[in-house]
Amino acid sequence: MEQFVTKAIDDIDGAYWDLYENAFAELRSQAVQRHLMYRSEFEELLSDKRVPKYVVRDEETGRIAALSTMTNDLQAVPLISPEYFERNWPELYAAQQIWYVGFVAVAPEYQGSPAMGGLVEKLCEDVDAAGGLVVLDICEHRSRRLLAAGIERLAGRHLPGLKRTRLDAQVFWGYEFPDPKSA
């Protein structure tokens, strides 16, 4: 697949939403916490000028193969704590050198293609030019599928010496009460 990566989205159409939803649909039943944005949230994010968008298109078909967001304006990212980053990396935080990847979505038909590598390469180029720390959220289901290690491998091709560190984890516990009728 010949591909090109751009940071521009000319207009927000349903194709972006369809790719995003199809790439993450399985998480609706595999992760406790909601990992998919509602369409209104997704469209708001794509409209936010503080958040660059990265799009991989198949040159042969023009179809969107992959989509990602990444920003160093942590105030633009809902549900993360900028204070956490300020406390742990005060110099990087002050210099706006902490980059948050909102999501990396690859269309199901392009999974296993060079699309993911092209996306990671472009993200790495932008961070490498400024330096700093890149952070992304990978749910345990995807982490068990070695997604974090795969991203490290792809990024390491462009940034030798890259080091992956697990920053945090959240565990959900359920307490099932016995049926009082069966006691």
Domain boundaries, the chain: 3-163
Q: What is the pLDDT of residue 36?
A: 87
Q: What is the structure's pLDDT at 11?
A: 60
Q: Is the dihedral of CA 19, 164, 166, 94 positive or negative?
A: negative
The owner of tokens 């000028």 is: 49
pLDDT score of 50 = 94
pTM over 0.85: no
pLDDT of residue 174: 61
Each of the 183 residues of the chain gets a pLDDT tens digit; together they read 555 556 556 566 788 999 999 998 888 887 777 878 999 999 899 989 999 999 998 888 888 999 999 999 999 988 889 999 999 999 999 999 999 999 999 999 998 888 888 888 888 888 888 888 888 887 665 545 556 666 677 777 767 777 777 777 666 666 766 667 876
pLDDT at 98: 93
| Predicted pLDDT at 147 | 62
Please give the pLDDT value at position 178.
Answer: 67
Predicted confidence at residue 144, as pLDDT, reads 53
CATH topology of domain 3-163: Aminopeptidase (3.40.630)
pLDDT at 146: 57
Query: How far apart are the C-alpha atoms of 39 and 21, rounded to whole Å?
Result: 9
DSSP summary character for residue 33: S
What is the pLDDT at residue 86?
96
Q: What pairing do the DSSP bridges indicate for beta strands 3-6 and 133-136?
A: unpaired
Backbone angles phi, psi at 60, to 5 degrees: -70, -40
Task: Say what the pLDDT of residue 79 is.
Answer: 80
pLDDT at res. 7: 59
CA separation, residue 58 to residues 5, 23, 62, 113 (Å)? 9, 16, 5, 11
